Structure formats: structure tokens, C-alpha cells
């Protein structure tokens, strides 16, 4: 199966669901990203700021670049001129810095609140209480150049379907709660980014709106 075949098959699978595809392109050379682009992919996910910044000028300008890995504040400046969505928002400090550099570029940058839903300790993300603390901080209301568009989570690396479903449900529950309480009048707050190559079917069944798929398209990363 070619990259194009895989993308067409995934898009066909997602048609009629709430979910769209974000192609995870980390570690892959720009030639393969161009192949994905030519097959219709427009959302690309990278997890390293420098790698994303190096690839961006080599692809067409209508690519939506999503950062899906942890972001240190000293790297925000590198991405601010072009990044579409930062899926890994985990602090008010990070939001503040994104806002500052987005403003300097006359842009609004989208962000997803990343939640810790896995049982593994090493996976990062907020608790619901931490997210609510951010959203109720007076400073949050002042940030005009960063727009929260939903939530993101990485499930446990397991084949236990009950476990995965429970984690996806938990993230969906966080989304519903935040939508209801803080974003009821913000139509842009609508994304639940969950599901990867190994678990996207379950994530879609549990209401994902954005699946992040890499190895099911490109093969395993060497």
C-alpha cells in the first residue's frame, strides 16, 4: 500500500464520522510529506519544533501545521509565524508566551488543552482541576491572540480495548464539561483530538474529531 492508498483508505473510513485526519509526519522527509499532501492531506502533525520549522517552507502554504509534542517556551518564537494549532497546551505560562509571539506576528494561534488520560506516568498533560485553574485565571481572559479550540489526549499504549475506551470517554467527558462551563458560546471550541494508528477506531467510536495517524500511513518509524 502506498502513502496515497493509506490516506484514501483512512479518509474513506472517517467519512460519515465526526473525525478528520491529521497525518503525523514526524521523522519523515519532506518528499513523503509532499506525497501525503498530493493525496489530499492538509493537517500535518510534528512533535519537534525545529523539525517542523525546517519542513514548513518546503511544503505548500495551505498546510495546517499542528504541534503534537511538548513545547518549551523558548521554542514558541520559531513556530509563531506559521503554526496552525498547538495541541500540547499544558500551562498558563505556555499560553502567555504563545499569545505574545502570535501578537508579534499579527496572528491568532489555536491551542488544544492536553490532558493526562493514560495510566502511564510518563505521558504528559493536565488534570481537569489544573485546566480549570488556567481557565479561571484573570489573565486567561486577556489573551487575545491564542484561541482554545478543544482538548487532546494520548491513551495508554495497550491493546486492552476496555481500557482505551475508558480513557477516550474520560477525555470526551472533560471536553463536555469545559464546553458547558467555559466555552458554551465559543463555537471554535469543538475538537477532541484522540486516536493514533493503533487505537483510532475506538477513539472515533468514542467521539474523536481529530485522529493523529502516523505509522498506519508511512509504516513504522525506523
Binding site for ligand PLP (CB under 6 A): 24, 26, 47, 68-69, 154, 196-198, 212-216
Structure-block grid coordinates of residue 32: 513523503
Nearest CB to ligand PLP, comparing residues 143 and 195: 195
Nearest CB to ligand PLP, comparing residues 66 and 172: 66
User: CB of residue 203 vs ligand PLP: minimum separation in angstroms?
Assistant: 11
Enclosing H/E stretch for 177: helix 161-182
User: CB of residue 103 vs ligand PLP: minimum separation in angstroms?
Assistant: 27
Q: Which of 217, 183, 220, 177 is nearest to 200 (CA)?
A: 217
Nearest CB to ligand PLP, comparing residues 143 and 168: 168
User: CB of residue 213 vs ligand PLP: minimum separation in angstroms?
Assistant: 5
User: CB of residue 220 vs ligand PLP: minimum separation in angstroms?
Assistant: 8
Q: Is the dihedral of CA 175, 114, 86, 168 positive or negative?
A: negative
User: CB of residue 97 vs ligand PLP: minimum separation in angstroms?
Assistant: 20
Structure-block grid coordinates of residue 200: 483510532
Q: Which of 173, 179, 107, 98 is nearest to 139 (CA)?
A: 98
DSSP 88-128: EE--HHHHHHHHHHHHHTT--EEEEEEE--SS-TTS--B-H
Residue closest to ligand PLP when measured from CB atoms:
214
Amino acid at each position: 500500500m502506498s502513502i496515497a492508498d493509506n490516506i484514501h483508505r483512512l479518509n474513506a473510513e472517517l467519512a460519515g464520522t465526526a473525525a478528520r485526519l491529521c497525518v503525523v509526519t514526524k521523522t519523515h522527509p519532506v518528499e513523503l510529506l509532499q506525497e501525503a499532501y498530493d493525496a489530499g492531506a492538509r493537517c500535518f502533525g510534528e512533535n519537534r519544533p525545529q523539525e517542523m520549522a525546517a519542513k514548513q517552507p518546503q511544503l505548500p502554504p495551505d498546510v495546517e501545521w499542528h504541534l503534537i509534542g511538548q513545547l518549551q517556551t523558548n521554542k514558541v518564537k520559531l513556530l509563531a509565524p506559521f503554526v496552525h494549532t498547538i495541541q500540547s497546551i499544558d500551562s498558563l505560562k505556555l499560553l502567555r508566551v504563545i499569545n505574545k509571539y502570535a501578537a508579534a506576528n499579527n496572528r491568532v494561534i489555536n491551542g488544544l488543552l492536553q490532558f493526562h488520560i493514560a495510566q502511564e506516568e510518563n505521558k504528559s498533560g493536565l488534570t481537569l482541576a489544573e485546566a480549570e485553574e488556567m481557565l479561571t485565571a484573570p489573565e486567561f481572559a486577556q489573551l487575545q491572540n491564542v484561541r482554545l479550540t478543544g482538548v487532546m489526549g494520548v491513551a495508554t499504549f495497550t491493546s486492552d480495548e476496555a481500557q482505551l475506551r475508558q480513557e477516550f470517554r474520560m477525555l470526551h467527558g472533560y471536553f463536555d464539561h469545559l464546553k458547558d462551563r467555559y466555552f458554551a458560546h465559543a463555537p471554535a471550541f469543538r475538537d477532541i483530538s484522540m486516536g493514533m494508528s493503533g487505537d483510532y477506531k475506538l477513539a472515533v467510536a468514542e467521539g474523536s474529531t481529530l485522529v493523529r495517524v502516523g505509522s498506519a500511513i508511512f509504516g513504522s518509524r525506523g
